[in-house]
Structure 1
Amino acid sequence: MKSRNWVRLFLSTLLVGGITSGIIGFILRWGEYKELFIHFDVIEILSILTWLFGVGLIFSVISQMGFFAYLTIHRFGLGIFRSYWGLVQVILIIFVLFDLVYFRYQFFAEAEEAVTSYLLVAGYVFIFALIVAMVKRRDTNKEAFIPAVFFMIVVTTIEWFPALRVNEESWLFFMLIPIQICNAYQLLMLPRFLQNKKS
């Protein structure tokens, strides 16, 4: 792929991350920000939106670093494990999903807190990954399904780790959702940019 198309993918992913973070940030903290909209405080709204957009750009860069790292790891995995690479990815997916529930519950659960909320978060990550992987398989081929699930679960979780360590609910989803959308965008749009490599 020509450098021009890499730049287009990079810049468009930046825009996706910034816009998504702006929207998600306002939704997650609507209780704090709704007064600004009621009183139509344009300057304050724009300053918050600028901050959210800037944070989204950072999330987008993290997502893109993870994506290009995964492309490299995937090639190494195919070379080392060959036909077993799919199985290795499935094992890692199960391990990461288990960790998302078990270790988070062990470290952050309060006394007698149910494990339900931790299961729901892991379930959401899993379902989102399945949906993206099904679209990826439809757009390319059935062999793309497991790598897509692996990327959307394992790599996303690694990128999400700073918020997982803090474990503050609004930050968990404020970081997770833009990263998921950026990852899905890159995964689904890369073939389209490759098809335009002669442009």
Structure 2
Amino acid sequence: MNSRKIVGLFWKTLWLGGAAGLITSFFIEAEQYSRYLSPFNLKELLGVILFSLGLGLVFSVISQTGFFAYLFINRFGQGLFRSFWPTVQLALIAFVLFDLVYFPYTGASENATLLPYILVALGLLVFGILAALWKVKETNKRAFIPALFLMVVMTTLEWVPGLRTSGVDYKWLMIVPLLLCNAYQLMMLHRLQNKVPVAQGKASAAK
């Protein structure tokens, strides 16, 4: 992987995060957009659009920082735990999912219910599994656990500032760009390393 590919990945991921943040804001901040559409206020509307776009760009940078940290952690874990590294990753995934439910729930008000926190953790897990299965389809079976680790553990760590906020709007504005950017970088990694996917390699060998 050369510097040109790294720079290209950075810019593509950056604008993906910006677009994801902006599109998400259309749903999360719909009331605010409608306020400046009727009556029409171009200055305020552009301000909201640029702010949402800027947030998405910032979250993209956070995602990319976490992704490169993940590459280091994965390499370090392989060297330290060797054959036990997949088991350690699964344990960390389970621990993070538990924390994602337990700590927000215990810190919530007395009237809070447990179900929303379970659904958040379950949604993150399902998205992570789908991304990991996609990674396996394009590479090999050994990629499943590291991919799931990235999508669950690293995404949750990147999401910590959003989890500490009281409202849900900022949480959504942050998690959508993080998930999309992490999934995109995950799927681009083997392409940038010029690794031929397993399915493609078998097809080429059969010709």
- TM-score, normalised via structure 2 length: 0.90
Shift, 1:57, TM fit: 1.1
Q: Distance in 1 between matches of 2:46 and 2:121?
A: 34
Q: Distance in 2 between matches of 1:147 and 1:185?
A: 15
Shift, 1:42, TM fit: 3.5
1:95-106 equivalent positions in 2, closer than 5 A: 95-106=95-106
RMSD: 1.4
Q: Does 1:192 align with 2:191?
A: yes
Q: Is the 2:33–2:48 Cα contact (8 Å) retained in structure 1?
A: no
In structure 1, list runs of 5 or more residues that go unmatched: none
Shift, 1:143, TM fit: 0.5
Flag the 1:137–1:37 CA change in 2: closer, same or farther, 3 A. farther
1:43-192 equivalent positions in 2, closer than 5 A: 43-108=43-108, 110-192=109-191
More deviation, 161-170/177-186:
161-170
Letter in 1 for 2:58: I
Give identity over the alignment, percent: 46
In structure 2, list runs of 5 or more residues that go unmatched: 196-207
- TM-score, normalised via structure 1 length: 0.93
Q: Distance in 2 between matches of 1:117 and 1:104?
A: 10
Matching residue of 2:199? none
Q: Is the 2:60–2:181 Cα contact (8 Å) retained in structure 1?
A: yes
Partner SS, residue 65 of structure 1: helix
Q: Distance in 2 between matches of 1:62 and 1:77?
A: 22
Q: Distance in 1 between matches of 2:84 and 2:126?
A: 24
Shift, 1:49, TM fit: 1.2
Q: Is the 2:64–2:182 Cα contact (8 Å) retained in structure 1?
A: yes
Matching residue of 1:22? 22
Q: Distance in 1 between matches of 2:190 and 2:45?
A: 37
RCO higher in structure (CA 8 A, sep ≥6): 1
Q: Distance in 2 between matches of 1:162 and 1:58?
A: 12
Letter in 2 for 1:101: V
Letter in 2 for 1:174: L
Q: Distance in 1 between matches of 2:134 and 2:38?
A: 39
Q: Distance in 1 between matches of 2:128 and 2:153?
A: 10
Shift, 1:35, TM fit: 3.3
Shift, 1:85, TM fit: 0.4
Letter in 2 for 1:54: G
Q: Distance in 1 between matches of 2:99 and 2:166?
A: 14
Matching residue of 1:36? 36
Q: Distance in 2 between matches of 1:40 and 1:70?
A: 45
Q: Distance in 1 between matches of 2:48 and 2:2?
A: 36
Q: Distance in 1 between matches of 2:40 and 2:182?
A: 34
Shift, 1:40, TM fit: 4.4
Larger radius of gyration: 2
